A and B are shown apart, each in its own frame.
Chain A
Amino acid sequence: MSHEITLAGGAGEYMESATVVSWAAKIGDPVKAGDVVVVVETAKAATEIEAGRDGVLAAILAPEGAEVGIGAVLGRIADSTFADEAPVAVPQPAVAGPEAVVSDASAKAEAATRRISISPLARRLARQAGLDISSIAGTGPGGRIKSRDIERTLREQTDAASAAAPVAVVPSPAVARTGSAAPLALLHGFGANAAAWNMVRPHLDGRPVLTPELPGHGREPALTSPSLEALAEAVLGQIEANGARECDLVGHSLGGAVAAALTANLSVRVRSLTLIAPAGLGPEIDSGFLAGFLSARTVESLMPWLERLAADPGRLPRGYAQAVLRERERFGVGAAQAEIAQRLFPDGTQAIRIGADLDRFTGPLKVVWGKGDRIIPQAHQDELPGHAACHRLGGVGHMPSIEAPALVAQLILQNARSAEAS
């Protein structure tokens, strides 16, 4: 049995590393518990490290002048009897290459003890999103990772994902954990794709999530005749393909109108319906946005239109415009989207209506609208049937799923739960 000499034998607190100043004993010297065996120096002060037990100094692993990390083994004390085996058991470090030994020990020690500073909320969000926190740069005091850093990372992933649009039906990392609960089906809006929900998903308590895509968006092929019903049918096909027989349905903007149209289908039961700034409730829509969005070919010409989406454009993902343009280039969705706009929003007018579908829908119905929505007027809420619950979000524009993701998730879950209860 040998006893390791470590920094823990010193009285001081070592923040990062220490330098070995001098050994007070030579290999083979007898030492007594409490004897000073080695002196180390930290940024603050020199500290004497005492022998933890009686014995002989059997090995010096960190020679004088070596810098060692927290937890590094500086040397070993062995029983006197053990000294008999010393020639084979204990290599002379000076010969064996002390630098290698020391740096390896120090690296291991650092890896083992480096603590990532992260707020509890950020840790929870990262866990739910399946993010590795060791690769995230914190922007809080002292480099602490805050929730905004998780959100930024997810936004960056959203950007990256836009290029390689995710497959239409993506089980959340938590599907396996939560078993067979009805999935949440999240349907993005015009010009977006499944990645639009990336910021909401970490807040969904591990519920299984499907993110179907509209035809002519993401990787979904375009339809030759993209009526609202045809869009709904295509989306239904994606949900069915996943094996779901029922779902809690969520739709944003055009996706909201498609979701409302979907409630009439016979094969997948829609338990609850949550609409975020849905299309289809009134004739007005920002025609300038539609035209500008569709005709923009550069970041400079697209960005001013995208900025209309959020009450505070600073909350939009960085690189959003680049991602939109990249998707058009790779998957050629531009023409398909122009066709959808021409069909559903001719002459800058919403030519689709979801009122009758909503009247017929008997499950829990929630509608979320940003008070600062500049794309679809929030006054369209007045057209909702009496059984709809309306949530109006201050300081939020047309993109509540990006501008207030946690709250949106909370409302989605509330609505889904009330479907379970009923």
Chain B
Amino acid sequence: MAMMRYAEALRSALREEMQRDPSVWLMGEDIAVYGGVFKVSKDLMAEFGPERVRDTPISEQTLTAMAVTAAMAGTRPVLEIMYADFLPLSVDALMNQASIYNYIWNGQVTMPFVLRTQGGGGAGAGAQHSKSLDALVAHIPGLKVVAPATAADAKGLLKAAIRDDHPVVFLEHKLLYNTRDEVPDGDHLVEIGKARIARAGSDVSIIASSKMVVDALKAADELAKEGISAEVVDLRTLRPLDRETIKASIARTHHAVVVNEGWRFCGYAAELSATIMESCFDDLDAPVERVATHDIPIPYSEPLESAVLPDAAKIAAAARRALA
């Protein structure tokens, strides 16, 4: 085990996979010489050369289509889109190319490509650099979507994503890059599609992903002081969704709070809520409580930004409502 920052864990995943497999290569805006805006790919160009670590123009739509075709051609590109807010430019290639070719050509092509990006608010980055667009990509059949909350999962899931023959959208969070935790040594892989119990509890299940897991854990600490035992389920993968872990948790607690940093309306939390209603109805002792971002562009003003984003206090309040 080694203590590692989330960004370092990602870098170590990239490095290990590039060492292991020469067909793995990186591209993105400012990722090579500058090492990435969040320094995830720092030093990798020096180690692997400019052929395998490529700076690109600011043209996300083209980049994504390039990555798709490079994957079809047999390489394993890892594309960085600097902000999740720019994902809409990539969506055509994701929705009309990457996610469907395997189906419409009857499995004759594989699509081993990873699109890394980071989203989320709380950094005062304004309406164009703070969004969580989980629902936008998780909506697309044929894509896998992962959203790790810890350094260990960031490494294990990124390595698994690079080895996956299907397109994977890898969602990071700008406020997680500097968080640290223990990362297992060696060839650490985390299976895509498996959630984990981040904290065991018996009264209410808080189901979250990415940075919301951190907030959910803080909320669980608060609730514990009031004698409420909250279980925190870290989804890790948004699609395919690990329904079994969710069902088992709610069968224990009978109360559910679903949390997602995306917008509330038609958001990922709504999907969780519907899933729980469909598969856990007879186990529910209260309506599912939903915590998500208010349906407005993320404000630049710090007080307003924190007013619209989910946080530990809002999650704890939702848990109390569920248990009322």
Interface, chain A (partner B; CB < 8 A): 119-124, 140-141, 144, 146-147, 312, 394-395, 404, 407
B324 and A120 contacting across the interface, CB-CB below 8 Å? no
B285 and A121 contacting across the interface, CB-CB below 8 Å? yes
Known contacts A140-B324, A395-B202: does B282 contact A120 (CB below 8 Å)?
yes
Counting chain A CB atoms within 10 Å of each CB, which of B227, B254, B285 scores highest?
A: B285
**Using Cβ atoms and an 8 Å threshold, which residues of chain B touch A404?**
202
Contact partner, B324, options A122, A124, A141, A312, Cβ 8 Å: A141
**Using Cβ atoms and an 8 Å threshold, which residues of chain B touch A120?**
281-285
Counting chain B CB atoms within 10 Å of each CB, which of A120, A394, A407 scores highest?
A: A120
Known contacts A147-B254, A395-B202, A395-B229: does B284 contact A119 (CB below 8 Å)?
yes
Known contacts A121-B254, A141-B324: does B229 contact A146 (CB below 8 Å)?
no
Distance of A9 Cα from B47 Cα, bound (Å): 78
Distance of A384 Cα from B321 Cα, bound (Å): 43
**Using Cβ atoms and an 8 Å threshold, which residues of chain A touch B285?**
119-122, 146-147
Within 8 A of A (CB), among B229-272: 229, 252, 254
The residue on B at minimum CB distance from A119 is B285
Ordered by A's residue number, 14 sampled pairs between the chains whose C-beta atoms are within 8 Å are A119-B284, A119-B285, A120-B281, A120-B282, A121-B254, A122-B285, A124-B282, A141-B321, A144-B286, A146-B285, A147-B285, A394-B202, A395-B202, A395-B229
Within 8 A of A (CB), among B181-210: 202
**Using Cβ atoms and an 8 Å threshold, which residues of chain A touch B252?**
407
**Using Cβ atoms and an 8 Å threshold, which residues of chain A touch B202?**
394-395, 404
Interchain residue pairs A-B with the least CB separation, the first 4: A121-B285, A119-B285, A147-B285, A120-B282
Closest-CB distance, A368 to chain B (whole angstroms): 15
Distance of A123 Cα from B284 Cα, bound (Å): 10
A121 and B284 contacting across the interface, CB-CB below 8 Å? yes
**Using Cβ atoms and an 8 Å threshold, which residues of chain A touch B321?**
141
Closest-CB distance, B4 to chain A (whole angstroms): 31
A121 and B324 contacting across the interface, CB-CB below 8 Å? no
Closest-CB distance, A202 to chain B (whole angstroms): 13
18 additional contacts (CB under 8 A) given A120-B285, A141-B321: A119-B284, A119-B285, A119-B286, A120-B281, A120-B282, A120-B284, A121-B254, A121-B283, A121-B284, A122-B285, A123-B282, A124-B282, A140-B286, A140-B324, A146-B285, A147-B254, A147-B285, A312-B227
Distance of A394 Cα from B229 Cα, bound (Å): 11
Distance of A81 Cα from B284 Cα, bound (Å): 56
Closest-CB distance, B287 to chain A (whole angstroms): 8
**Using Cβ atoms and an 8 Å threshold, which residues of chain B touch A312?**
227
The residue on B at minimum CB distance from A393 is B202
Distance of A278 Cα from B286 Cα, bound (Å): 35
Distance of A120 Cα from B321 Cα, bound (Å): 17
Distance of A192 Cα from B201 Cα, bound (Å): 30
Counting chain B CB atoms within 10 Å of each CB, which of A119, A140, A141 scores highest?
A: A119
Distance of A120 Cα from B281 Cα, bound (Å): 6
Distance of A265 Cα from B184 Cα, bound (Å): 52
Distance of A140 Cα from B324 Cα, bound (Å): 6
Distance of A124 Cα from B254 Cα, bound (Å): 12
Closest-CB distance, B208 to chain A (whole angstroms): 22
Distance of A68 Cα from B202 Cα, bound (Å): 46
Distance of A140 Cα from B285 Cα, bound (Å): 10
B229 and A121 contacting across the interface, CB-CB below 8 Å? no
Distance of A120 Cα from B276 Cα, bound (Å): 12
Distance of A144 Cα from B321 Cα, bound (Å): 13
**Using Cβ atoms and an 8 Å threshold, which residues of chain A touch B227?**
312
Distance of A322 Cα from B229 Cα, bound (Å): 31
Closest-CB distance, B255 to chain A (whole angstroms): 9
Interface string of B277-315 (1 = CB under 8 A from A): 000011111100000000000000000000000000000
**Using Cβ atoms and an 8 Å threshold, which residues of chain A touch B229?**
395
Distance of A279 Cα from B313 Cα, bound (Å): 45
Distance of A119 Cα from B283 Cα, bound (Å): 9
**Using Cβ atoms and an 8 Å threshold, which residues of chain B touch A140?**
286, 324
The residue on A at minimum CB distance from B200 is A394
Closest-CB distance, B84 to chain A (whole angstroms): 36
**Using Cβ atoms and an 8 Å threshold, which residues of chain B touch A124?**
282
**Using Cβ atoms and an 8 Å threshold, which residues of chain B touch A146?**
285-286
**Using Cβ atoms and an 8 Å threshold, which residues of chain B touch A394?**
202
Distance of A404 Cα from B252 Cα, bound (Å): 10
**Using Cβ atoms and an 8 Å threshold, which residues of chain B touch A123?**
282
**Using Cβ atoms and an 8 Å threshold, which residues of chain B touch A121?**
254, 282-285
**Using Cβ atoms and an 8 Å threshold, which residues of chain B touch A144?**
286
Distance of A245 Cα from B286 Cα, bound (Å): 42
Closest-CB distance, B316 to chain A (whole angstroms): 17
Distance of A147 Cα from B227 Cα, bound (Å): 18
Closest-CB distance, A311 to chain B (whole angstroms): 11
Interface string of B55-78 (1 = CB under 8 A from A): 000000000000000000000000
Interface string of B126-164 (1 = CB under 8 A from A): 000000000000000000000000000000000000000
Closest-CB distance, B240 to chain A (whole angstroms): 26
Distance of A141 Cα from B289 Cα, bound (Å): 13
The residue on B at minimum CB distance from A139 is B324
The residue on B at minimum CB distance from A144 is B286
The residue on B at minimum CB distance from A146 is B285
Distance of A91 Cα from B309 Cα, bound (Å): 65
Closest-CB distance, B197 to chain A (whole angstroms): 14
Closest-CB distance, A192 to chain B (whole angstroms): 24
Distance of A395 Cα from B227 Cα, bound (Å): 10
**Using Cβ atoms and an 8 Å threshold, which residues of chain A touch B254?**
121, 147
**Using Cβ atoms and an 8 Å threshold, which residues of chain B touch A407?**
252
**Using Cβ atoms and an 8 Å threshold, which residues of chain A touch B284?**
119-121
Closest-CB distance, A143 to chain B (whole angstroms): 12
Distance of A124 Cα from B227 Cα, bound (Å): 26
**Using Cβ atoms and an 8 Å threshold, which residues of chain A touch B324?**
140-141
Distance of A395 Cα from B282 Cα, bound (Å): 25
**Using Cβ atoms and an 8 Å threshold, which residues of chain B touch A141?**
321, 324
Closest-CB distance, B320 to chain A (whole angstroms): 11
The residue on A at minimum CB distance from B254 is A121
Distance of A122 Cα from B286 Cα, bound (Å): 9
Distance of A407 Cα from B253 Cα, bound (Å): 10
**Using Cβ atoms and an 8 Å threshold, which residues of chain A touch B283?**
120-121
Closest-CB distance, A131 to chain B (whole angstroms): 15
The residue on B at minimum CB distance from A123 is B282
Distance of A404 Cα from B254 Cα, bound (Å): 13
Distance of A67 Cα from B237 Cα, bound (Å): 57
Closest-CB distance, A372 to chain B (whole angstroms): 13
The residue on B at minimum CB distance from A118 is B285
Distance of A395 Cα from B203 Cα, bound (Å): 12
Distance of A146 Cα from B324 Cα, bound (Å): 9
